Amino acid sequence: MPYINTKTNIIISKEKEVTIKQKLGKAIELIPGKTEDWLMVSFEDQCSLYFKGESDKAIAYIEVKIFGSSSGSAYDKLTGAITNILNEELNIAPDQVYVKYEEVSNWGWNGRNF
């Protein structure tokens, strides 16, 4: 039950959303036991974001939420994959991206909780 939300201060075309979604679907497998089969992805573009007091560069804030927990090394690998994807697809430099991880112990779906 992973969820990845991408917030950025630039425009993301629908074509880029689809490409990024597909790449995130593969990247989530870096977290043991997680697959695209349960992945939910959202995009928020043209957000009012500032980093280091500036907003003149392309910036992204990524939230990754997973049911359960994982290891720091798995998160390191996923952070690398996410920043590479954003750099390749949106020209956002890795040093302009924050990735936040949240491990969730209660997750609801289909009228009940896991």
pLDDT per residue as tens, the chain (114 positions): 899 999 999 999 999 999 999 999 999 999 999 999 999 999 999 999 999 999 999 999 999 999 999 999 999 999 999 999 999 999 999 999 999 999 999 999 999 998
Residue with tokens 């990735």: 99
pTM: predicted TM-score of the whole model, two decimal places: 0.95
Burial class (CB in 10 A: 0-12, 13-18, 19+), 78: buried
Assigned fold of 3-109:
Macrophage Migration Inhibitory Factor (3.30.429)
Question: What would the two tokens of residue 16 be?
Answer: 């880029």
Report CA-CA distances (Å) from 107 to 17, 22, 63, 80, 86: 25, 23, 16, 26, 27
